[in-house]
Each structure stands twice: as C-alpha cells, then as structure tokens.
Structure 1
Amino acid sequence: MNVKQITVLSSAAPLILLSTASAFAQPGVATGAVNVRTGPGTGYAKVGTLSAGELVDVKQCQGSWCFVDRNGGTDGWASANYLQPVNNQPAPSEPDIPFNFGVTVGPGGPSFSFGIGDAPPPAPVPVPVAPEVCFYKNMGYSGAEFCVPAGTVDNQLMGSWNDRISSIKLIGGAQVQVCEDWWSGGSCGVITSSKPNLGVYDNVISSFQTW
C-alpha cells in the first residue's frame, strides 16, 4: 500500500518517528546545522554534520535522538530537536490514500499515532525511551553537556569534567551513583530523579556509574 500524502498534526513539536522496518522510514529535513553521531547521545563520536535544509530518511528514534539515512555523507544519529517531517510525494500513477500522523509529548515522554484512510488516528501509544543519564556543567541543566546510556561506568572523570558537574538529568528510569573521588572513593550518593541543583555534590564529582 502506497502513501501519497502525509499530514503532520503538530509541526512545531520535535520530530518523533517510529520504524519497525525500512518500509516505514519517514522523510525529514534538518532545520539547522546539527552533528551526526555514532549513537543516540552527545557522548558518542561525531561522524558528520547535517546542514540546514538537508533531506534525510529517518529510520528510527530513541528518546530525543533519531537515526538518519543521508543521501550524501555518513549515516548516524542526530538530535530530533533539529528535524522536521516533510511531505512525501510519490509518482502520479500511485493511488491517493489519506494518511495521518500525530505526535503527543507529555510527562511520560513522547507518543505517536497514525492511521490510513479518512478515520481519525487511534489513541497515541507511548514510545519507549532508552534509560540515559545526562550531565551538565551548570545548574538547571544548562552549559556543556554529555549523556551516557544506563550501564556506563566512569571511574576517572578527566579534563574539564572532573569536579565540574552541577546538574544531572535522568531519562527513561535511569539512576546514577556519583562519588567525590576516583574509583568510587570518598562520599558517594545514589541519584534516582533529575537534579537541577546537586547540593553537596555540586562541582565535586570525580567518578560515576549508571544503571
């Protein structure tokens, strides 16, 4: 079954797409320059940059990141905040089949709905969010940032991040243990909810492990 027109219910929301197979890839466009990385987070290596207006095929999304198939350049993960859906126009000989697609962003994370034909789309279904922990140099989740998936252990924070973390955001039910010294030494604490202000652990974290 071919789709002639895609109607986006909320173009202002970040692009949230679901792909269970390559046949469900959605066309998207970059709204600005954004890095392409090897994984869904700023902690992964950069492999390229999308330019504003670049057209891509969005294969799947995980949390606030989407895997993009590029016509030119290396494929990889890009922030969904810099992607928007575009209309897909097939050959004129293809039948006209209405298709609707909706995005809802709520306290539990993003959800999507879609339908074929004139009937309204079904109720949104929550999209699973991969557990992830994001660290910030400033309070209130601002300043420089890096994110890691659950199961990451860093026993020696190096360079500009050692004793420089001031807020932590937890995504998808992730948790993190932070310690004042390397190799889980000194005072340690377990964080189970996002902290815009780390209190006694502000600018003293030297090692951590997530789950």
Structure 2
Amino acid sequence: MRPLLALVLALIAALLPALPANAHSESGSHGWSRTTLVLRNGPGDAYAVTGEIAGDQAIKVLRCQRLWCNVDGSGGRGWTRMAAIDFGKDPYWPILDPDNHWPDLAGGEMCFYEGTHYTGRSFCASSGEVFRDMAAWGWDNRISSIRVITPTSAAICRDRFFQSYCERIAESQPVLTQYLRRNLSSIRLY
C-alpha cells in the first residue's frame, strides 16, 4: 500500500503547478480590478475571451504591454485592459488613499540611493520633479533606499510612466519593499 500512496502523492505534486486558473501567482505586482475584467489569451480585443474577474477584487499584475496587462486572479489568468486596473495595496492606493494625508510641500527634497540604508551612489530631487523613465537617467532598477531630507511625499512606481505597482512615501525608507527594491522605474515628487 505504501508504494501506491507514494505514487499518488507524486502524481498530485506533479499536477499542482498545472492548475493556474485558481491559483494566484506568487510573482507580480499587487493590483485591483476596478470593474469586471474580461480576460483574453493575448493583449487585444482580437484575442479569444478566456474568463473574467469580478470588480473590486485583488489581483496580481504579471506584466503590462502598452494598454493591456497580463493578470492573475480568482477568475483565472489572462490579458485585460490596463484602464480597468488599479495598482497598489488597496483599490485607492496611492493617489486617493483616504487613510493618509500626504505632506505635499513645496521645497521638499528626497535622496535616492543604490544601496540599502542610504549607501552607494545617490541623487537628490525636489518637489515637483517627475522622472517618467529612470532608464533615461541611468537609474532604472537601481534604487534600494530613499531618505527624506525636507518633508514631502512621492509616488514611486515599478514600471516606466507610472504604469504598474506604485507606493506613495512620505518617510525615509532605509530598505524599499520587495516589490520596489531595485525595481523602481518612475518617480513623481509632490
């Protein structure tokens, strides 16, 4: 009986990775469905519909391409329109989060560091500065910590042009979250 049990367990273990429809991906950015997401097997209306995810549901955004994102959620995995997705820890994050009052102060300043705990190469920026694509500045996917010099806040995002997971920060971050550490591609200081 033990060899049969071992065979059944091995078969179950082999099949588990092949069940993506109900399993949420461990990688990707946190996001939320604003409305019902129609899932397709490619990035565009010409692709076949493969399922849907209800509105106001937590999802994982696996990657984005122009106006479409590949997402994973309770209704399955597939491509959907980027305009129907909110990126962040909750549906209101980072811009409209009613629980936070951000210090958007003129004259604020933050410094951005390659290493954790404010080490390594760095640059500083002031309120009102916008970096839509950190690659243009030679800083794409390099920042690991941020120090607030003069109080202000900033939206920091994983992808260029603020297209993916973002966080709004107002305090020094000696170590950025796992989603943004060495994954930062756009910044807006308020």
TM-score interval for Structure 1 and Structure 2 normalised by the shorter chain? 0.3 to 0.5
* More strand as a share of residues: 1
TM-score by length of 1: 0.38
* More helix as a share of residues: 2
